[in-house]
């Protein structure tokens, strides 16, 4: 399974209702389209990854935060257009072992697996992605 290739300059909201956490502070540089999690101790957003037993996913960054303490908007539910991605409609995408990335299938990691969302199909060459963060206790072998 491969990590999705996302062009941060092409990340936009799709149609329909959205849940967005506005102006969250970044704990590290974050690109638009990257998977993020909120650190409960600092309340800042960090790149999420599935390579730990504490894998968590809050959503996808809607804008780029180039440095620590810059604001980042996080889409926690709804359709996001990830320009540059190539995934078939209906494919479930999961949090990758690579920080900030999502993959078009399960990664071979143990611990919690976070479902990032489901492909809703390409439109005008852009991939539409329904964000639905879900964390399950599972072991992939």
pLDDT of residue 72 exceeding 90, the answer is yes
Structure tokens at 48: 């999420």
63 within a domain of the structure (yes/no): yes
In this predicted structure, what is the pLDDT of residue 88? 64
In this predicted structure, what is the pLDDT of residue 138? 41
pLDDT of residue 47 exceeding 50, the answer is yes
pTM value > 0.85? no
43 within a domain of the structure (yes/no): yes
pLDDT of residue 74 exceeding 80, the answer is yes
Q: Do 54 and 112 contact (CB within 8 A), yes or no? A: yes
CA gap 18, 20 in Å, rounded: 6
Q: Write out the residue range of the structural domain in which residue 69 sits.
A: 8-137
Give the side-chain half-sphere CA count within 13 A for 28: 11
Mean pLDDT within 20-44:
93
Across all residues in the chain, what is the average pLDDT?
77
44 within a domain of the structure (yes/no): yes
- Total structural domains within the chain: 1
In this predicted structure, what is the pLDDT of residue 141? 35
1 within a domain of the structure (yes/no): no
Q: How far is CA 111 from CA 65, 76, 103, 132, 141, in A?
A: 29, 22, 16, 19, 10
17 within a domain of the structure (yes/no): yes
In this predicted structure, what is the pLDDT of residue 139? 39
């Amino acid at each position: 399974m491969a990590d999705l290739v996302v062009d941060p300059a092409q990340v936009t909201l799709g149609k329909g209702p959205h849940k967005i956490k506005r102006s969250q502070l970044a704990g590290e540089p974050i690109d638009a389209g990257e998977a993020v999690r909120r650190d409960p101790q600092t309340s800042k957003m960090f790149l999420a990854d599935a390579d730990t037993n504490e894998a968590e996913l809050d959503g996808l960054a809607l804008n780029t935060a180039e440095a620590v303490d810059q604001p980042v908007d996080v889409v926690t539910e709804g359709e996001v257009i990830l320009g540059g991605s190539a995934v078939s409609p209906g494919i479930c995408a999961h949090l990758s072992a690579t920080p900030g990335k999502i993959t078009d299938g399960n990664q071979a990691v143990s611990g919690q697996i976070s479902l990032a969302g489901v492909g809703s199909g390409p439109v005008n060459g852009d991939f539409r992605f329904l964000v639905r963060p879900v964390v399950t206790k599972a072991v992939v072998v």
